[in-house]
Amino acid sequence: MELGQLEAFAEIARLGNVSRAAEALSVTQPAITARLRTLEAELDTELFVRGPRGMSLTDGGRALLPYAQRALAQLADARKALTDLRSGRVGELFIGAAPAVSTYVLPSVLKAFREKHADVRIGVSTGHTEEVLEMVLRRQVQLGVGRPIRHPDAELIPLFDDELLLVVSRHHPFARRGRVRLEELGTDHLILFDRSSSYYELTSSLMRQAGVVPESVIELDNVEAAKKMVAEGLGVALLPRMALAAELRARVLRPVGLIGAPPVRRPIVAIRRRDAGTAIGPVADFLALLQGPRAR
Q: What is the DSSP string of 182-242?
A: GGGGGGSEEEEE-TTSHHHHHHHHHHHHHT---SEEEEESSHHHHHHHHHTTS-BEEEEGG
C-alpha 173/C-alpha 171 separation (Å) is 6
Percentage of the chain beyond pLDDT 90 is 58
pLDDT at 37: 92
pLDDT at 206: 85
Q: Write down the architecture of domain 92-296 according to CATH.
A: 3-Layer(aba) Sandwich (3.40)
3-class secondary structure per residue, 24-90:
HHCCCHHHHHHHHHHHHHHHCCCCEEEECCEEEECHHHHHHHHHHHHHHHHHHHHHHHHHHHHHCCC
Per-residue model confidence as pLDDT tens digits over 191-215: 998 888 888 888 888 888 778 888 7
Q: Does domain 3-87 have CATH number 1.10.10.10?
A: yes
Per-residue model confidence as pLDDT tens digits over 5-30: 999 989 999 899 999 999 999 999 99
DSSP string, 228-279: HHHHTTS-BEEEEGGG-HHHHHHTSEEEEEEET---EEEEEEEEEEGGG-S-
* Nearest by Cα to 226 from 207, 196, 200: 200
Domain ranges in the chain?
3-87, 92-296
C-alpha 173/C-alpha 182 separation (Å) is 15
Task: Indicate the range of 62-71, 81-90, 221-230 predicted with least confidence.
Answer: 81-90
pLDDT at 253: 96
Per-residue model confidence as pLDDT tens digits over 117-171: 888 899 999 999 999 999 999 999 999 999 999 999 999 999 999 989 999 999 9
Q: Left, alpha or beta for 33 (phi > 0: left; psi -120 to 50: alpha)?
A: alpha
Give, rounded to a whole angstrom, the gap between the first and last alpha carbons of the chain. Answer: 53
Per-residue model confidence as pLDDT tens digits over 57-85: 999 999 999 999 898 888 877 777 676 66
